[in-house]
Amino acid sequence: MLKEDRDVLASCGLGLIYALSAVSFRDARPRGYSEMHYEEVDDWKVADLVRHLRYERGRLVFHADYVRGRMMKTTVEIDPEGSVLLETANRGEAATRWVATVQGKRVMALVGEGPDAGAEMNEPGPSTAS
């Protein structure tokens, strides 16, 4: 669970959900029969986010199970007090890397693994790390 200033989340919460869902989609791979719907080159779209977004019990909630053959199994909830909950199933420690990526931190990866195979580091650009 992350904690953020509730005034910041009031204006940026949807953008945060979009960023986390986009990296979840990028890293997601097919499982079982979902492979028939999977395309290696595919982009996360705003329409995808909207299809899986809802407002319940005073919280903004995103949940995606399988999207176009990719097993996402990702939930992001933002409550009015500024708590951000990011949950995944069967995704290992991927969510930790997504948060670091969204925060602009460098994320180490094994050479030859993941969507950026061949890169030793995911460098999202200039860092604003404290």
Helices 6-27/94-102 angle, 10° precision: 130
Q: Could you give the dihedral angle defined by the CA atoms of residues 28, 34, 36 and 41, in that order, rounded to the nearest 10 degrees? A: -10
Give pTM, 2 decimals: 0.73
Tell me the pLDDT of the chain (130 aa) as tens digits: 777 777 888 888 899 999 999 999 998 888 887 877 878 889 999 999 999 999 999 999 999 999 999 999 999 999 988 889 999 888 888 888 888 888 888 776 666 655 554 444 444 444 333 3
Q: What is the pLDDT of residue 119?
A: 40
Domain residue extents for the chain: 2-103
Q: What is the pLDDT of residue 126?
A: 40
Place of tokens 């061949």: 118
Q: Could you give the dihedral angle defined by the CA atoms of residues 8, 4, 85 and 15, in that order, rounded to the nearest 10 degrees? A: 30
91 three-class SS: coil
